[in-house]
Amino acid sequence: MLAPLLDHLAESEDGLALARDGGEAFCSSALRPFLIAALLAHADERPAIVVAADDRAAGELAADLSAWLAPRRVCFYPSRGVTYESHLAPPPHLVGLRIAALDALAGDSPSAGAGGAPVLVVSAPALSEKVPDPALRPHSFELAVGELLDLEECAQTLVEMGYERVSQVEDRGQFALRGGLLDLFAATAERAVRVEMFDIEVESLRTFSTFTQRSLESIERIEVAPAAELALEHRGTWLEGERPDIAELLPVDRFRPLLELVGDDPAVIVAASDEIGPTLRDHWADVCAAFHDAEAHHLYVAPEEIEAVLSARTRIRLHSLAGTTPVEFHAQAAGGVARSLGEAESALERDLRSGYRTVVTWARRGDGERAAHNLARLTANWLEDGPPQDRLTFAQASLREGFIAAGLRLAVIPDHLLFHRRRRAPARPAVGRRGALRSFADLRAGDFVVHEDHGIARFAGFETRTVAGVTRDYLYLEYQGDDRVFAPTDQFAKISRYVGAGGEHPTLSRLGGTRWDTLKARARHAAQELAGELLSLYVERKRRDGHAFAADGDWQREFEQRFPYTETPDQREAIELVK
């Protein structure tokens, strides 16, 4: 719960004026989530739409706003991930996020009203994609312990919502019925859920691992978001090999712009105004490359129309370039070079002596309690206990970035930026064959595969055959001409996915002859030559004297601390070898 810290906006007259009257301002990127959350907290209690440049920025901003505004609901509304003209369905988790966000804004969500008016964080490309009328799309529902549930009716509802019925749940958008159990991987859930029934009553809900199928923890309720954009009766179908016009598949006359669909009530905040226009124009250029310009208007909104609507409706516009507005909010990104809690404690003391309200956020409360116990000079109090502002404050929250804002007299530091932890190298994964298949579920009819003995084939499906009185399953492989092979499933290890350059369809092998054996021998010889060259290279490296670099200085350690990515095992090994 970080909401009490949002009152620090009162430290800035410009901040209060911006919340009260709206307008434009520059804001440092590290401070942006806090400032937007504080502006929303000090504004009228009504829904809000926050516009970010792209899906990545919108997703990160939504996660940070969720921490700052909790328990107020913050929804991430991403773009579809695939274009309408591709004839591909968006991934279930993106569909679920989009519909759950729209339902929350419309008040149709099972958890609508909890925590106050919802906040929707949307990317600029998502604004340009028209949305089906609410009457055309399925809606979310909720499962809770103790409720009555008809499994067959629930299964039919899930199919209508775009879920796939399978024998074993492996991914989002799938469900399985096994006796009195319903296994369900909801479109927006982090883990699959097992619903156990007592007659027609939901007896328990437990998350489980899709890999081991073992139960993990009990939960009380789960919101099930749709996995398809349109209800079953509105989804177009076509035969394999056909590619009908998109207007024949979708009721395009009932698709509307997002900002028109949500109405005039939500307040609009633009998070990075300088980046919105270029992103919209780039997206529109991609759309028009696939559609004729006139046809694109059926399912997409032109950049000029979006910018006109935003200009009319935006209440607060934040810029990412300093010097462009009379009001500016500056902050330094948090992140020191301390190597231990003791060194970090000295930095926290300096912030407190400088008059900052100093807050450290911890993703896990237990880590914070251990740190509070190990502090030598400072005493930490938890935010919910209402400590005085001149004391070190701990809070439980997951933040991506921290900041030190002189104008607000506030310093917020996430635990992962408090001091540098030596990241433990993850276990090196076992090296397998390129294109190796993990299970039969990895194969789809029409995939190109390579059989170790017979060469390149097209996988046509599975067939059950009885041979010599024994019935078992076979992989049906098509080769050049009329050649066919039925490979027993126990020879699955001999088959791998075809991996070729350029993405072009390979030439199928012909059964018999020596061509495939010749290709394998040539590849084996090339691998042996490459191994010989590498061996010579490493011998030469061992023979020559290397260059010894100086020990790491303060600037080097600070640079490594600020590196925002996790190195791969090979990168870490190279860094250590160079040092």
- State pLDDT tens for residues 503-554: 677 888 888 777 888 888 888 888 888 998 888 888 888 888 777 777 777 6
Mean pLDDT of 110-131: 82
Q: pLDDT band for 214, please (50, 70, 90 cuts).
A: confident
Q: pLDDT band for 361, please (50, 70, 90 cuts).
A: very high
- The pair of structure tokens assigned to 374 is 């190990």
Question: What is the percent of the chain with per-residue pLDDT over 70, rounded to a whole number?
Answer: 89
Q: Find residue 436's DSSP bridge partners.
A: 496
3-state SS, residue 221: strand
pLDDT at res. 490: 75
The pLDDT tens digits of the residues spanning 284-314 come to: 888 877 666 555 677 888 899 999 999 999 9
**Which helix (H) or strand (E) covers residue 305, if one does?**
helix 303-313
Comparing CA positions, the residue from 361, 423, 359 lying closest to residue 563 is 423
pLDDT at res. 175: 94
Burial of 29 (0-12, 13-18, 19+ CB in 10 A): middle
E strands, 168-227, are: 174-178, 181-185, 192-198, 201-208, 215-219, 221-224
Please determine, for residue 267, whether its predicted confidence score (pLDDT) is greater than 60: yes
Using an 8 Å Cβ cutoff, are 127 and 77 in contact?
A: no
Residue predicted with more confidence, 229 or 578: 229
Q: pLDDT band for 385, please (50, 70, 90 cuts).
A: confident
Mean pLDDT of 430-439: 54
3-state SS, residue 339: coil
Residue 281 CB neighbour total at 10 angstroms: 16
Give the pTM.
Answer: 0.68
Please determine, for residue 151, whether its predicted confidence score (pLDDT) is greater than 50: yes
139-153, 316-330, 359-373, 457-471: lowest mean pLDDT where?
457-471
DSSP notation for 89-121 = PPPHHHHHHHHHHHHHHHT-STTTTTTSS-EEE
Task: Say how far apart CA 259 and CA 131 lie, in whole Å.
Answer: 10
Q: What backbone torsions phi and psi does residue 501 show, to the nearest 5 degrees? A: -85, 145
pLDDT at res. 251: 79
Pairing type for strands 314-319 and 181-185 reads unpaired
The pLDDT tens digits of the residues spanning 49-67 come to: 999 999 999 999 999 999 9
Pairing type for strands 455-467 and 448-451 reads antiparallel
DSSP notation for 423-454 = PPPPPPPPP--TTB-SSGGG--TT-EEEETTT
pLDDT at res. 236: 63
Task: Say how far apart CA 418 and CA 345 lie, in whole Å.
Answer: 9
Task: Say how far apart CA 542 and CA 381 lie, in whole Å.
Answer: 56
233-237, 299-303, 342-346: lowest mean pLDDT where?
233-237
Q: Which residues of 348-374 are buried (b: 16+ CB within 10 A; e: fewer)?
A: beebbeeebbbbbbbeeeeebeebbee
Please determine, for residue 337, whether its predicted confidence score (pLDDT) is greater than 80: no
pLDDT mean across residues, the chain: 84
Residue 216 CB neighbour total at 10 angstroms: 14
> Which residue type does 145 have?
V
Please determine, for residue 431, whether its predicted confidence score (pLDDT) is greater than 60: no
Using an 8 Å Cβ cutoff, are 194 and 203 in contact?
A: no
- Residues 350, 356, 359, 360, CA torsion sign: negative
